[in-house]
Amino acid sequence: MSENSPHDIRIPATQLGGPGAPDATLCSAKVVALLSAAAGEGMRMTSLALDVTSFALGEADVSISVRVDKRAKSIAFASAEARSGEQLVFTAQGLFSRAG
């Protein structure tokens, strides 16, 4: 993924707890994996902020946009936003630091 360029994926709502309300544990696991991949090898997550909505997801796919907001030599800030149609599912921000 190029710097500051969003990377979009689509997943079934069932991966986040659908068709009911999103499950925070499932959302957290998915977003940690996505943000970690965006931050890159050799970076470890030091902080995660995740806000999850409570409306029913239904059967539609969820679109997740992931981006690296800022990168320096030893740290990176990455964020993600998930939507089901026009409805916000979750937002997340992660801080990563160089491992080792």
pLDDT of residue 61: 96
Q: Rounded CA gap, 9 and 83, in Å?
A: 11
Sign of CA dihedral 5, 35, 79, 57: positive
Structurally, the chain folds into a number of domains equal to: 1
Q: Reduced to 3 states, what is the DSSP secondary structure of residue 17? A: coil
Which tokens sit at 28? 């957290």
- The residues that bridge with 51 in the sheet, in sequence order, are 91
Residue 41 to residues 32, 54, 69: CA-CA distances in angstroms? 14, 33, 17
Evaluate if residue 2 carries a pLDDT over 60.
no
What's the pLDDT tens digit per position in 10-61?
999 999 999 999 999 999 999 999 999 999 999 999 999 999 999 999 999 9
pLDDT of residue 32: 97
94 is in which domain, residue-wise? 7-98
Residue 1: inside a domain, yes or no?
no
pLDDT of residue 39: 95
CATH code of the domain covering residue 19: 3.10.129.10
